[in-house]
């Protein structure tokens, strides 16, 4: 048996999916898109149920990538049941998609999620009344705590007749729908003909591509006649009637509890208002920065110290047991690579991913998007670009793919350039915090982030003036603030770190071994010598750091690891001055993207744009490094 989870963004659909399926989740991009959906299995008694987590969507008739993929998956997979995840605290807004699911002939179960927030807001929901009106099972859930999940699965697997509920459209709209549906043949469609007719009138591209020319012409003629008679399009009337029906049902099923003490959450409001929201955002960012610097530094010291005490003697014995310099170099590479992973991944990248998950799960990240929407318009973007930027602090690859949520190609290109130049990924952040922040002091690391923010603003402003266009507008559902779930936070962090280790560690290990062998064989000197005048004279760095820059093109974290291999220690303060660490970290923060990011930029924006972005980032990195070295020398 197969069920699908459908719902608007930010209603807790993915949390329900996680509670149902646990481990064994498979994520994949829908063919021909970068829109991701997930699959997993749930068990009810002896029954195994396949669960599909559809992309969040506001409509089945929309034409964005997310909406098209959700609709296409429902059509192609034909799930036995669809769980419509609804925000119980904002019932009216969520019901419209549920109407469309019922209208499309699916067997629907409603999960009224965030029921705890509805109660906190003093809202009492009559679930029996909802069930009678919608003619479907209605299950209250609190997904973040796992409440109602078993009952939801049980209701989903019990196959019932399809709901007979139908939205009450006005008589003129019903007449147009009926006339159009009468021209369709049931054998041509897997949907109720009424639903097909409505989607044709709603200009659903996926449906319009499959209808005959005569039907399409008739639909256009009916729509034009309707607009002449009513002064408004039939689309407006259909949506108005849907929202009107949703409002009527919500008013009948929801009442304000008289005896409950209703506490209005002022915290939610002050996070969005610029006067209070900006200082709060500054405080949040400062907290993240300080936790990374001091917390990461403490963890790094403890891990590296323990590792050296346990493993150094073992590797020294192995090296003493062989006369081959190449073997000794390879063993040294293995030792240093493991030490570097302990010095980079767990202290800084792990801590960053935990804090990112907390920001996502509390709902605060969406508020940052709303808060900074006006500011982002000044650099040719809108607030949703913040999501891609925040993702970029984890990894630039998914951040560049996430630009597909932006409406225009110009906005996407501007955002991709800014992410590449001025948004350090988790590995670059680890370089900044793990070198400058840890050894030179947090004020040095803070200065680098200030430079990057200034670079982002200045270049965004310039690009907006060069590539003139009107930014698209922001439509955003802001969820309630809530406490993050420890299990969800650790689970998401574990997945992200697992992906990082799976990809990065083999490369780091192989790179360390190769580098040690090159050092033993003397090949490295021949590579370093030509770059010495520039590295030493212009950047003020040891000539061998050019090797770290080159390896950083493969993976950014390899740059820091290669420095540790080159200097034979994870304590870079023994090999570099504070000024040199600052210059190196600044250069690496702006330097060209890694190969994976380059491949994605090429696919999304073309070879020419990729070459321009790469050349610009290299040029700016070296210029900023040279200027920083000159100022620090003075």
CA-wise closest residue to 86 among 72, 97, 74, 78: 97
Q: Where are the beta strands (DSSP E) in 420-533?
A: none
Residues of the chain above pLDDT 90, percent: 10
Helix axes 364-371, 385-392, angle to 10 degrees: 120
Partners of 110 in the β-ladder: 84, 138
pTM of the model: 0.54
Residue partners of 220: CB distance under 8 A and separation at least 6: none
H helix intervals, 49-192: 65-77, 91-103, 115-120, 127-134, 149-157, 171-181
Question: For tokens 């970029």, what's the residue?
Answer: 392
487's tokens: 């299990």
Residue 519: predicted pLDDT: 67
**Residue 443: which residues within 8 A CB-CB, separation 6 or more?**
none
**Least confident interval from 127-131, 327-331, 584-588:** 327-331
pLDDT at residue 137, rounded to an integer? 92
Report the pLDDT value the prediction gives residue 257, as an integer from 0 to 100.
Answer: 63
Look up tokens 């001055």; give the residue. Answer: 577
C-alpha distances (whole Å) from 385 to each of 188, 228, 282, 402 are 41, 39, 18, 9
Question: Look-up: residue for tokens 């799930």?
Answer: 79
Asked whether 394 and 425 are in contact (CB, 8 A), the reply is: yes
- Residue 496 in tokens: 């992200």
Domains and CATH numbers, the chain: 2-157 (3.40.50.300), 171-256 (1.10.287.1770), 274-633 (no CATH)
CA-based end-to-end distance of the chain: 72
Beta carbons within 10 angstroms of residue 225's beta carbon: 12
Helices first, then strands: H and E counts in the chain = 31, 9
Element (H, E) at 53: strand 47-53
266-301: pLDDT as tens digits: 666 687 777 888 888 888 888 887 887 778 778 877
How far apart (Å, rounded) are the C-alpha atoms in residues 632 and 528? Answer: 24
Query: 468: pLDDT confidence band, cut at 50, 70 and 90?
Result: low
Give the pLDDT band (50/70/90) at residue 582: very high
pLDDT, tens digit, for every residue of 198-217? 888 888 877 888 888 888 88
Alpha-carbon distance of 13 to 25, in angstroms, equals 15
pLDDT 10s digits, 584-617: 989 988 987 776 677 778 878 888 988 998 899 9
Is residue 312 within 8 A of residue 450, CB to CB? The reply is no
Please give the Cα distance from 177 to 110 (Å, whole number): 26
Of 260-269, 278-287, 371-380, 399-408, minimum mean pLDDT range? 260-269
The pair of structure tokens assigned to 383 is 């607030």
Q: Using CA atoms, how far apart are residues 512 and 561, in angstroms rounded to an integer?
A: 8
* Sequence-distant (≥ 6) Cβ neighbours of residue 549 within 8 angstroms: 559, 587, 588, 591
User: Phi and psi (nearest 5°) for 30?
Assistant: -70, 135
In the predicted structure, residue 340 carries a pLDDT above the cut 80: no
Whole-number Å distance between alpha carbons of 88 and 142: 10
| Distance of alpha carbon 402 from alpha carbon 55, whole angstroms | 13
Mean pLDDT, to the nearest integer, of 259-272? 58
Token pair for residue 131?
Answer: 């069930």
pLDDT at position 99: 92
């Amino acid at each position: 048996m197969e069920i699908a989870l459908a719902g608007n963004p930010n209603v807790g659909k993915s949390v329900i999916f996680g509670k149902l399926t646990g481990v064994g989740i498979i994520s994949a991009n829908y063919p021909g898109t970068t829109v991701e959906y997930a699959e997993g299995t749930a068990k009810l008694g002896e029954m195994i149920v396949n669960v599909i987590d559809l992309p969040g969507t506001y409509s089945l008739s929309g034409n964005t990538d997310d909406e098209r993929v959700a609709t296409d998956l429902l059509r192609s997979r034909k799930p036995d049941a669809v769980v419509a995840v609804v925000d119980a605290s904002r019932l009216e807004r969520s019901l419209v998609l549920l109407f469309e699911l019922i209208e499309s002939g699916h067997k629907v179960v409603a999960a009224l999620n965030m029921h705890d927030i509805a109660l906190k807001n003093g809202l009492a929901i009559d679930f029996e009344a909802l069930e009678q009106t919608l003619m479907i099972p209605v299950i209250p859930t609190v997904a973040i705590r796992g409440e109602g999940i078993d009952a939801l699965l049980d209701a989903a697997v019990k196959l019932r007749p399809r709901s007979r509920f139908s939205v009450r459209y006005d008589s003129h709209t019903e007449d147009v729908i009926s006339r159009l549906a009468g021209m369709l043949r049931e054998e041509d469609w897997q949907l109720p003909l009424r639903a097909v007719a409505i989607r044709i009138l709603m200009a659903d591209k996926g449906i319009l591509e499959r209808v005959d020319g005569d039907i399409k012409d008739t639909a256009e003629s009916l729509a034009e006649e309707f607009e002449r008679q009513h002064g408004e399009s039939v689309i407006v009337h259909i949506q108005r009637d849907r929202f009107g029906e949703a409002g009527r049902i919500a008013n009948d099923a929801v009442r304000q509890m008289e005896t409950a003490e209703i506490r209005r959450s002022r915290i939610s409001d002050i996070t969005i208002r610029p006067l209070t929201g900006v200082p709060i955002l500054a405080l949040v960012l400062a907290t993240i920065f300080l936790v990374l610097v001091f917390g990461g530094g403490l963890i790094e010291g403890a891990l590296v110290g323990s590792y050296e005490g346990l493993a150094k003697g073992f590797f020294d014995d192995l090296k003493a047991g062989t006369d081959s310099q190449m073997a000794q170099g390879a063993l040294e590479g293995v030792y240093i690579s493991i030490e570097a992973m302990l010095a980079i991944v767990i202290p800084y990248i792990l801590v960053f991913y935990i804090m990112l998950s907390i920001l996502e799960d509390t709902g605060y990240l969406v508020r940052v998007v709303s808060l900074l929407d006006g500011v982002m318009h000044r650099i040719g973007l809108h607030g949703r670009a913040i999501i891609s930027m925040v993702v970029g602090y984890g990894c630039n690859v998914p951040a560049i793919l996430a630009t597909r949520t932006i409406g225009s190609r110009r906005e996407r290109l501007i955002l991709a350039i800014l992410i590449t130049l001025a948004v350090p990924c988790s590995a670059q952040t680890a370089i900044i915090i793990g070198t400058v922040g840890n050894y030179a002091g947090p004020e040095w690391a803070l200065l680098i982030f200030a430079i990057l923010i200034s670079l982002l603003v200045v270049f965004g402003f310039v690009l907006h003036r060069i590539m003139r266009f009107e930014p698209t507008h922001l439509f955003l559902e802001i969820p309630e603030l809530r406490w993050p779930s420890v299990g969800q936070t650790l689970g998401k962090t574990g997945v992200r770190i697992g992906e990082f280790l799976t990809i990065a560690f083999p490369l780091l290990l192989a790179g360390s071994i190769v580098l040690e062998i090159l050092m033993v064989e003397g090949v490295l000197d021949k590579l370093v010598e030509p770059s010495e005048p520039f590295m030493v004279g212009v950047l003020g760095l040891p000539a061998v750091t050019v090797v770290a820059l080159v390896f950083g093109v493969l993976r950014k974290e390899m740059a820091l690891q290669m420095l540790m291999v080159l200097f034979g220690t994870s304590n870079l303060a023994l090999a570099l001055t504070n000024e040199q660490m600052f210059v190196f970290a600044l250069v690496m923060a702006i330097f060209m993207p890694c190969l994976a990011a380059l491949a994605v930029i090429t696919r999304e924006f073309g070879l020419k744009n990729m070459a321009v972005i790469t050349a610009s980032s290299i040029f700016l990195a070296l210029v900023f490094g040279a200027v920083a070295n000159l100022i620090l020398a003075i």
